[in-house]
Every structure is written in C-alpha cells, then in structure tokens.
Amino acid sequence: MSTGFRLTSEQSMLREALRELCATESTAAHVLEVWQEQRPFDEGLWQALATNGWLGLCSDEAYGGAGMGIVELSLLAEELGRTAAAAPVLPSLIAGLVLRESGATSELSASIVDGSTRIALGLSRDGLDFRAPLLERAGGRLNGQAAFVAWAETAHQCLLPMDGETLVCVPRNLFSTRPRETMDLGLPLADVLLHEADERGLMCLNFSRTRLFDLSAVAAAAEMLGSMQRCLELSLDYARVRKQFGRAIGTFQSVRHMCADMATEIENTKSVVRAAASALSEASTSAYAHYAKLQANRAARIVWTNALQVHAGIGFTWEHELHLHIKRLMSLQGLFGTQAGLSDEVFRFARSA
C-alpha cells in the first residue's frame, strides 16, 4: 500500500498549477471583497476553475472529467484552503467522484465538469451524528432534513443518504433551505428540508454513506491544512517585520516557540491527511479519515490561537487576511466530524482492532 507521504511528479505539477491559479483568482483582497459585498460565492474563481478543467478533476473522463481521486482532490482542497477560497468547489467535486465511483451514467457528471451544476452534500440530520437516518420514505414521498449543509442555498442538487448504501440526488425544487448565519461569510451553511418530496424519478446511487463521510472529512482536513499553512506564513512574515523593544518580534523566544508549535502541528496534520487520502484511494473506508479530521481539529485550535497571538491587535481587524482563515478553520472544525463524535468512533475501532 502506498503511504501517500510523497507526491508523484504529476501530483506536484497539479499542485503548482492550482497554486498559481489561486494566487491570481483568489487573492485575500478578492476574497475579502466577496465577503464585504456579501456575494453568494466567488463567481470569478468558480469560472476560472471551470475554464481550466478543475471542476472535473474527479469526474469520469467520458463526461470531460480528469478521472482522478481523493488524493488529487485533497491537494486541491489544500490549495483552496491556503487562500480561504469562497466557492462551492469541494462538495461538487466529491459528488463528481461519487458519480464516477458508483458508475452512474448521467449528464449530471458533464454539468459538474462545466460548472453549470453545483451539488451540496447533506451528511447528517443534526450536524453531529453521521449515522442516524436523515430521510423517511412513505408512500413514494421523502421527508426529513440535513442540518448545517455547506453551500446548500446556491446548489442545484443535494446528495443525501437514503440508507447506509444508497444516496439520493434531490433537485433544488424538491427541497427548501433554512439559512444558518455564521461568521464565516465564505462558507455559507443552511439546513436542507424535504417535505413530502416526490421520490419518483430521483436518481439513486449505490454508494456507501460511510465512504461519503470519510471523503468529506479528509477533504475538510486537507482544506484546514492549507489554511493553517497560510496562517503560519502570515505569522512568520509579520514576526520578521514587526519591531518592538527595538527588534523584530520574531527574535523573541516566546514568539518563535509559538511559530514552532504551529509548524509542528501542521506537519503532523500533513502526515495523517496524506496517509488518509492514500488509504481512501485503496479502500472503501479508513480509520485514517477520522484520525486526519481529529488531528486537523486539534491543530487548528493551536494554529489559530498562536497566529492571532503573534499578530496581536492587527490580527483582530477586519482588513487583515487572518480572520478569513480563523473563521474558516472554526467552521471546518465544527463540520464533517467533531471531537466528541469522532473520538468515540476511534475508541470503538481501536478497541476492536
């Protein structure tokens, strides 16, 4: 089994290209503008990703996709995380992967690739429990809800687990949304509500709910990894130029050690995110996905705390880029698996192994 720690040259090139694209299309000033103007999402970035074929990264080649997997998807998530990108990319890409892996022959794949369809993922009834059923079927009707769904309002379709092995794809006219206000204006959340939705004609996919969760958790952890790397970069840049007591604050051991702790937790996160993505490209589900999300959650708390402390007052302002990352890390920490839920799963797994 590949460990996934080292990128192939193709993967490195892919990452470079993404970094370049994000550096021009998703600058901090640009992202802040999206926030400021309360736009639904960053259409410029979305278009740029579509034009350059990135939205088809994981979709079937028959529909214009690149046919890649979770390893490449997590590299993309990492790069989007670095710029606190405000676009509904990851759920649609995961949906593209799901469609390809479940062998669905649907034009939906093509419309994901060209950016005309956005898909949201409804993973949990309450945002905490990823195993309890979300939907009830009776008399050809679906009732139920998914809570705290990322990018639900701007989605054209929502993918929800019907049971452990089946996902159902529900179009926007069959669900309503209840927006949830959070401080992260670049990752909008809403509850997805199904009331007497007619299930005739809905596309069902044969796909494990556990795998969908694992993929989402690893993508989130990878996005957090990128965001944390940016927090560290910003902190290092600031520590080199900010002078107090006649010297750069980066010469003070207390500041240096905060940065060293950030770097250490980021490297640990990288080890486990890479291993988890690699494991999920070879097996349906993996405990590594849980380890990755738990580590990302733990690391994020250390990184946003230390980064803000290094920046001090300036990091507490709206103009500075840092708050975009702090809020994104907080969002992702609370989504796709929390400490309480994941640690109990890990406990049961480790006890039985």
Residue 76, amino acid:
L
Q: For residue 253, state whether it binds other proteins (rule: CB under 8 A).
A: yes
Describe the crossing of helices 287-311 and 322-334 by its angle, rounded to 10 degrees. 150
| Contact mark string toward other proteins, 296..325, x via CB under 8 A | --x---------------------------
The yes or no reply on residue 261 touching other proteins (CB under 8 A) is: yes
Give the interface segment with other proteins, choosing from 39-47, 173-181, 272-280, 317-325 (CB under 8 A): 272-280
Q: How far is the CB of 269 from other proteins (least distance, A)?
A: 8
Q: Closest separation between CB of residue 73 and other proteins, Å?
A: 20
Check binding of 247 to other proteins (CB under 8 A): yes
Task: Please give the C-alpha separations between residue 324 and each of 36, 65, 122, 220, 262, in angstroms, as whole numbers.
Answer: 12, 31, 24, 16, 18
Nearest to 11 by CA among 222, 209, 204, 233: 222
Query: For residues 49 and 249, what is the distance between their CA atoms, to the nearest angstrom?
Result: 39
Residue 219 — φ and ψ, nearest 5°? Answer: -60, -40
Among 312, 323, 317, which residue's Cα sits nearest to residue 254? 312
- Provide, rounded to whole angstroms, the least separation between the CB of residue 136 and other proteins: 29
Residue 288 near other proteins by CB under 8 A:
yes
Q: Output 195 or 243, the one with its CB closest to other proteins.
A: 243
The window from 53-61, 184-192, 214-222, 286-294 that contacts other proteins (CB under 8 A) reads: 286-294
- Among the residue ranges 109-117, 154-162, 208-216, 239-247, the one whose residues contact other proteins (CB under 8 A): 239-247
| Longest CA pairwise span in the chain (Å) | 75
Element (H, E) at 177: strand 176-180
Instruction: Say how far apart CA 160 and CA 162 lie, in whole Å.
Output: 6
Contacts of 335 (CB under 8 A, 6+ apart): 127, 148, 150, 189, 220
- Could you tell me the smallest distance in angstroms from the CB atom of residue 297 to other proteins? 10
CB of 251: closest distance to other proteins in angstroms? 5
Written as six digits, the tokens of 330 are 């907080």
Applying CB under 8 A, which part among 54-62, 153-161, 180-188, 268-276 lies near other proteins? 268-276
Only one of the segments 74-82, 135-143, 245-253, 301-309 lies at the binding site for other proteins (rule: CB under 8 A); that segment is 245-253
Exactly one of 275, 300, 307, 308 binds other proteins (CB under 8 A); which one? 275
Contacting range for other proteins; rule: CB under 8 A; set: 56-64, 198-206, 223-231, 261-269: 261-269
Select the residue interacting with other proteins from 174, 263, 302, 330 (CB under 8 A): 263
Which residue in 187, 194, 155, 177 sits closest to 336, CA to CA?
187
Nearest to 97 by CA among 80, 117, 79, 73: 73
Residue appearing with tokens 């733990």: 298
The Cβ-side half-sphere exposure at 179, using a 13 Å CA radius, reads 11
CB of 57 to other proteins, least distance (A): 25
Containing 288, the helix (H) or strand (E) segment is helix 287-311
| Sites of contact with other proteins (CB under 8 A) | 3, 5-6, 236, 239-240, 247-248, 250-253, 255-257, 259-261, 263-265, 267-269, 271-272, 274-275, 287-288, 290-291, 294-295, 298, 339-340, 342-348, 350-351
